[in-house]
Structure 1
Amino acid sequence: MKKIKIDMKFLGSFIAVLMLVSVTSCKEYLNIEPKDRLTGNNFYQSKDDVEANMANMYSMFFDKLNETWVIGAIGEARSGEIVASPGANNYNSRVIVEVLGRNELIRAMDPSAPWEWYHMERITNWTRYYQVIQTANILIDKLNEGIPGLSQEDTNRYIAEAVFLRSFTYFWMVRLYGDVVYYTDPYHSEALPREDMVSVLNKCIADLEPLKNDMPWTFSDPALKGARASRGSIVALLMNMNMWNAGFDRGNAQKYYQATAALGAELMESNSYRLLPLDEEGWARVTKGRSDESLFEFYRSINYGDANAALAPFGDHFLRWPYKFPRFNNQISHCYFRSEYMEKLYPESVADKRRDFWFEDMLSNSGQFIAKKFGYNVYASGNEDKNPDNTFMIFRYAGAILLRAEALAELGRDAEAKAVVDVVRERAEATLYDGPGGQHLKDFIFLERARELIGEGHRYFDLIRTRRILSSMWAYKPLNQDQYNRRAWTWPIDQSARVNNPFMTLNEYWLTTGL
């Protein structure tokens, strides 16, 4: 048997991390909140009760986004293009971005490391996600029983919204952990094994697809637009789940591409969303949130007293004065993207407004790099140490357009794919695509998603589902085939998931070679 070399220092640190997280875990299967705290026998008595429960589910999910630099850690840094800026504040801590870029997740969670205050180990704990799922399951059950004061239309809409939140949570967990425990019944207590991730997403697709027409495409009330699930949110999630499965259920890939292409056409033909002008006013509205471009987001506002963790926004690591205050300790950005990667995305020889509008000192390979993309809603002044007042964008119209283009290209419908990708490039005042079809077009669309969605948490997952993570042509730190097959792209699962569940297995890669 081949012997596996294990670094005992990091093994000890990993065990310490697991003990720290597990010691506070309650002794219930999946760590679900007590039933009376989730519902109460007399809780669902009015529309206001349902609204309060919905707000609680959104809040619980956002708790996970607010734990650390989650969007950057899970969706951007792990392919190796991000570097810590020498001379940045707490430089020894910022080096964690390079640790993530080498896929050294156990080291990233080392409590003895100078970056321990990032608390990356929290990403491994899925308890809060299952609390969202359990809450959604109970609400759906109560809605089916009937709640006083709700019309049938209201009931159908709330069921669709709750199923969206449940399905979105499963989708999010699948991308983090691979196979997950799946259930939809209320008050679940039976121990279950993890289920194949493709099966989980297919069940979510089957649950959600029939309900999308029960939701409005979007909301006229600006307080709800993007911030509450809509038909646009559901379509975006269905597209993303289909494209994820296309990468792993390759024998059925054409089915998933066809579904994605059809959903994308439905979304665009609804005329319910639009790409805002790429100028300071238009882009500030997109990043602030609740815009005509938002399909789904976790809206946050300093005006509402929302307490965002300082680390949580992606842009925190890529802004400096005058986009971040106070001036005296924000002279350089904490991190930058490697110049060779940025040149590949935005070559000087190709017209693209995003190059100068979204970045400053883009090729500096230093802390002079600025991702102005996240800097157009500067709130603070003087000595107030605050990030710009941005939303946490999850699905944006431009991203859905490009998923449709990708699906069309995979189906060999090259002319349609070119026309669709050019919708995004036209807004960017970029040279329209005039190359060949086939693989060249597929690669171009992949890069267009990287260009348009940089910093929004899609890059790493796109590399994984398309298997481009296996090539140094596409990732600075690629995985080899064995690592990919054994799911080195996942995160470890905290030991607390095994409490009272004899069927639970953890991610084997992180218990052996991943150390």
Structure 2
Amino acid sequence: MKIKLSLGKIAVVICLCAFVTVGCKKFLTVEPIDRLTGNNFYQSKEDVEANIARIYSQFFEKLNESWVMGAIGEARSGEIFPSPTSSGDRMILRDLGTNNMNMVYINSSPGGRSSGYQMYKVGIWDTYYKVIQSCNILISKLEEGIPGLSAPDKDRYKAEATFMRCLSYFWMVRLYGDVVYYTDPYFAQQLGREDMVSVIDKCIADLEPVKDIMPWTFGDASQRGARASRGSIIALLMHMKMWNANFNPSIATKYYESVAALGKELRGSGAHYLYALTPENWAKVSKGRTEESLFEFYRTINYGDQNNAYAPLWDHFLRWPYKFPRYNQQFSIAYYSSVFMSRIYPLNGPADKRKEIWYEDMYANDGLFVLKKFAANVFASGNEDSNPDNTFMIFRYADALLLEAEALANLGSAREAEAINVLNIVRDRAEAPRYTGGGTELKNFIFEERCRELIGEGIRYFDLIRTRRILNPQWTMAPMTIDQYNRRAWTWPLDASAKNFNAKIVLNEYWTSGN
């Protein structure tokens, strides 16, 4: 995410960084209000814009710590392996793929075999709470009143801050399970971790009233996808409700009906659509700020953005001529197992343009495998070691379409025709045969279509968890037992530092009990 700022605004952002860092360091402890907010800070619309920019930047800090998107949303499903030519630190991919998270923590810590990955930082949730507190403070200040801010602008900024707060909670729930939930700006009372279903329901209740306040599009095309919109809120609501439909099955039908309605609303807006699948069009989508994007963290070397060398998910699956320099980029770092690739794209299976545009050597169990899906935007000479200049996509239109189709399929035979129609929007774009069928086969096909369409976007592992397919070796190469699932072996180990300023915090039992 990048918003151009004048020198004066940059100074404001620097000041904001200082007080936000101080205010959140002792999370859930008493801090003087002026240290948390700077009482003279919110004096104009420009100050609010600077604060919003910092909130987006804070969240991205966690994604930029290491191979976060790949580790949390892809590798733990067990289908990703280090190439035979990869160096020793890449063996952490095997630890991730076998859910050996304690070894991931040890090996990625300073001095460990895979210390470059720094995956131990994923277990530290402080930055997410900094984002949440920043959002809470902003909402509080907006309610108090800020000079020169119109009522519509006030409402829109509150909706935007609410979205980022709820995104932070949802992200943490998928990582850690239960979390501490608070919405007060200067909360001093220590609280324990709240049941994740309850947290998500509270976020849904916060988001639904502000959904229609947000615009579908912005006058400035550079903010498309890179800034929260009504489509962003709809996508987050759909994901949260599909998550809770699994963990709160007694009212699953209610969640499915709502997701189906949200998907229909999104399609009816006309604000978002799928680009025709050509190499040129897909390069635009992966670069970012297109009508396919519902929410992303837009990054570009043209703005001087600096990404951690490990952070881009796609880096692991590229080699020359899609990655430079030629002399030391002859092989990809990692590959998706041919067992998995053959399941989603059977050898000699039906036509599908994604196979042509997104892959090279797609069944290779070595460094020849290439996921070209993220390979187009390389701006480097032959001697530079550079990653493609892509966005960090969080929610994409095709993802929302397939969630809608999944919800419809789960509502029974009466809604199957609708589910198939929505599913085939994605199939048609891929120039793949239209689906015909129903029942359990339809549900399974939609899941596999999500595997095909969303590969490498940090979603697959969470789909396995929320659909419980993680329990079945038919769907994953790293299945869990029902006991492991119920004890939340799917969570990420929460770092012990979470207890430093809150004595009520209990760490994730599965990872502290010796399994």
**What TM-score do you get using the length of structure 2 for normalisation?**
0.93
1:60 and 1:152 map into 2 onto residues whose CA distance is 27
1:77-92 equivalences in 2 (<5 Å): 77-88=75-86, 91-92=87-88
Is residue 463 from structure 1 mapped to residue 464 from structure 2 by the alignment? yes
1:383 and 1:429 map into 2 onto residues whose CA distance is 37
Report the counterpart of residue 323 of structure 1 in structure 2.
322
Q: State the 4+ residue runs in structure 1 displaced beyond 6 angstroms.
A: 24-27, 31-34
1:490-505 equivalences in 2 (<5 Å): 490-505=491-506
2:419 and 2:484 map into 1 onto residues whose CA distance is 32
Residue-by-residue CA offset, 1:378-431 (whole Å, 9 max, x unaligned):
111221111000000000000000000000000011110011000001000111
Report the counterpart of residue 4 of structure 2 in structure 1.
none
- Secondary structure of residue in 2 paired with 1:241: helix
Aligned match for 2:103, one of 107, 114, 117: 107
Greater mean alpha carbon deviation, residues 182-191 or residues 111-120: 111-120
Report the counterpart of residue 265 of structure 2 in structure 1.
266
Report the counterpart of residue 57 of structure 2 in structure 1.
59
What is the alpha-carbon root mean square deviation over aligned residues?
A: 1.6
Q: Give 1:116 shift.
A: 1.6
1:500 and 1:260 map into 2 onto residues whose CA distance is 38
Gaps of 5+ in 2: 1-21
Amino acid aligned to 1:141: S
2:104 and 2:165 map into 1 onto residues whose CA distance is 29
Contact preservation (8 Å) 2:29, 2:190: no
Q: Give 1:215 shift.
A: 0.7
Paired residues in the alignment total 488
**What TM-score do you get using the length of structure 1 for normalisation?**
0.93
Q: Give 1:500 shift.
A: 3.1
Residue-by-residue CA offset, 1:332-385 (whole Å, 9 max, x unaligned):
000000011011111232111101210000001110000100101111122111
- Secondary structure of residue in 2 paired with 1:43: coil
Amino acid aligned to 1:279: T
- Secondary structure of residue in 2 paired with 1:174: helix
Report the counterpart of residue 378 of structure 1 in structure 2.
378
2:462 and 2:64 map into 1 onto residues whose CA distance is 20
Amino acid aligned to 1:51: E
Q: Give 1:150 shift.
A: 0.7
Contact preservation (8 Å) 1:30, 1:127: no
Q: Give 1:432 shift.
A: 0.8
Report the counterpart of residue 92 of structure 2 in structure 1.
96
Contact preservation (8 Å) 1:32, 1:127: no
Contact preservation (8 Å) 1:352, 1:429: yes
Amino acid aligned to 1:455: G
Aligned match for 1:47, one of 37, 45, 48: 45
Q: Give 1:26 shift.
A: 8.8
Gaps of 5+ in 1: 1-23
Report the counterpart of residue 418 of structure 2 in structure 1.
416
Change (3 A) 1:37 1:72: farther
1:148 and 1:382 map into 2 onto residues whose CA distance is 53
Contact preservation (8 Å) 2:23, 2:35: no
Contact preservation (8 Å) 1:233, 1:295: yes
1:177 and 1:26 map into 2 onto residues whose CA distance is 19
Change (3 A) 1:229 1:241: same
1:321 and 1:98 map into 2 onto residues whose CA distance is 24
Q: Give 1:39 shift.
A: 2.2
Change (3 A) 1:130 1:307: same
Report the counterpart of residue 277 of structure 2 in structure 1.
278
Aligned match for 2:428, one of 426, 429, 453: 426
Is residue 188 from structure 1 mapped to residue 197 from structure 2 by the alignment? no
2:159 and 2:140 map into 1 onto residues whose CA distance is 12
Report the counterpart of residue 127 of structure 1 in structure 2.
126
Amino acid aligned to 1:356: E
Contact preservation (8 Å) 1:325, 1:385: yes
Is residue 231 from structure 1 mapped to residue 227 from structure 2 by the alignment? no
Greater mean alpha carbon deviation, residues 503-512 or residues 493-502: 493-502
1:273 and 1:147 map into 2 onto residues whose CA distance is 33
Change (3 A) 1:406 1:327: same
Contact preservation (8 Å) 1:326, 1:382: yes
1:184 and 1:86 map into 2 onto residues whose CA distance is 48
Residue-by-residue CA offset, 1:237-296 (whole Å, 9 max, x unaligned):
000000000010011100110110000000001111010111111101100000010000
